[in-house]
Amino acid sequence: MPRPALPSRTSRTSLALAGGLTAALALTACGAGGSSPGASASGSGSAGSGSAALTVVASTDVWGSVASAVGGDAVEVTSIIDDPSQDPHSFEATTRDQLLVQDADVVVQNGGGYDPFMEQLVEASGTEAPVVDAVEVSGLEGSQDAAGHSDEHGDEHAEGSGDHADEGHAHGEFNEHVWYDLATAGKVAEAVAEALGKADPQQAATFEANAKAFTEGLAPLQAQEAEVSAKSSGTGVAITEPVPDYMLEAMGLVVKTPEEFSEAVEEGTDVSPSVLADTTALFTDGTVKALVYNEQTTGAETDAVLKAAQAAGVPVVPVTETLPDGQDYTQWMSSNTEAIRAAVGL
């Protein structure tokens, strides 16, 4: 079944985020201290009690899946964004979200300006829970600067005019879609295990073993990436947004899409006719062997690129920013890896 598309980023306003969170904060004082609406009966648990599950709150189901793999039955994980129609850039936080973060034992966020609502919730809730920031732990080039920029980005969302493209957020400086880097997912798992182990020392060894198993489960996928790189390094591919770029880079594949196109799509700004023409020409002149297409963000320009690829018989690999139904992180990345391998002829 086709997944709902996210609205074009031209309609994703940060003003809604600021307003939604402000309304949530106004209600927090009278709501604090009770059980979180929608929380399971197991409650938030207490460190080392062994009688109730620890609670992890993740900004998206991507990191929620990783946390679930690490925590197992000992942890109750809530992902604030678990619907493909929700956009982390302009998500409107609620009172329930703030209470979840306030009562969490561990918080997991993407960082790098991708999910600013989570950073605002952490600050506003006053939670003392450790925060695992995927961008920060990634160790990727530019990640530390991006992690620092993350706080500034949250301020921009709170103070901006509502025009996402004019708020100074330059995606091109750092690609915050770090979950497409398998090594980063392993590092996040290790960081979550460490945080959970401190919250419940009696189960620290179990969390550490689970994180190790999760990371080892990614090794076959990394081997497949290396195989593609060995056999098809330098092969050109097209994208609509830089969402899958870390995986493509690991495979040695070269993105040929003009940066002006992918950045405009991501920022929700117009694509000039000449840039669009250059992008669609990639499929007719044999420059690329596949289009890796973010199916959760669509618009006239991306539709034109998709139709051009299909008309030229170039394989299209749809990718997403949230988990497909019924798949965990490893299964999802395995599907992506296999699809890209097949698209480039391996």
Mean pLDDT, range 83-87, rounded to an integer: 78
Per residue in 224-258, pLDDT (tens digit) is 999 999 999 999 999 999 999 999 999 999 999 99
Closest Cα partner for 253 from 141, 130, 148, 341?
341
Per residue in 5-19, pLDDT (tens digit) is 454 443 333 333 344
Closest Cα partner for 97 from 133, 127, 63, 130?
127
- pLDDT confidence band for 148 (50 / 70 / 90): low
- pLDDT confidence band for 25 (50 / 70 / 90): very low
What predicted TM-score, i.e. pTM, was given to this entire model?
A: 0.82
Give the pair of three-digit tokens for residue 20: 């939604």
Mean pLDDT, range 176-187, rounded to an integer: 98
Mean pLDDT, range 316-329, rounded to an integer: 95
Within 12-79, residue ranges assigned H as helices are 14-31, 61-71
pLDDT attached to residue 242: 96
Domain 9-217, CATH:
3.40.50.1980
Domain 220-343, CATH:
3.40.50.1980
pLDDT attached to residue 297: 86
Task: Give the Cα-Cα-Cα angle 80, 82, 87 (nearest 5 degrees).
Answer: 80
- pLDDT confidence band for 87 (50 / 70 / 90): confident
Residues shown for the chain: 346
Which residue has better confidence, 84 or 62? 62
For residue 244, the surrounding DSSP H or E stretch is none
Question: 34-38, 170-174, 319-323 — which is least confidently predicted?
Answer: 34-38
What mean pLDDT, rounded, does the chain reach? 83
Per cent of the chain over pLDDT 90 is: 70
Instruction: Round to whole Å and give the CA distance between 290 and 237.
Output: 5
Q: How many CB atoms lie within 10 A of CB 332?
A: 20
Which residue has better confidence, 61 or 149? 61
Instruction: Round to whole Å and give the CA distance between 283 and 260.
Output: 17
pLDDT attached to residue 44: 35
- pLDDT confidence band for 84 (50 / 70 / 90): confident
Which residue has better confidence, 274 or 44? 274
CATH 3.40.50.1980 range(s) for the chain read 9-217, 220-343
Which residue has better confidence, 271 or 296? 271
In the predicted model, is pLDDT for residue 177 greater than 60? yes
Three-class SS state of 212: helix
Per residue in 94-103, pLDDT (tens digit) is 999 999 999 9
- pLDDT confidence band for 149 (50 / 70 / 90): low
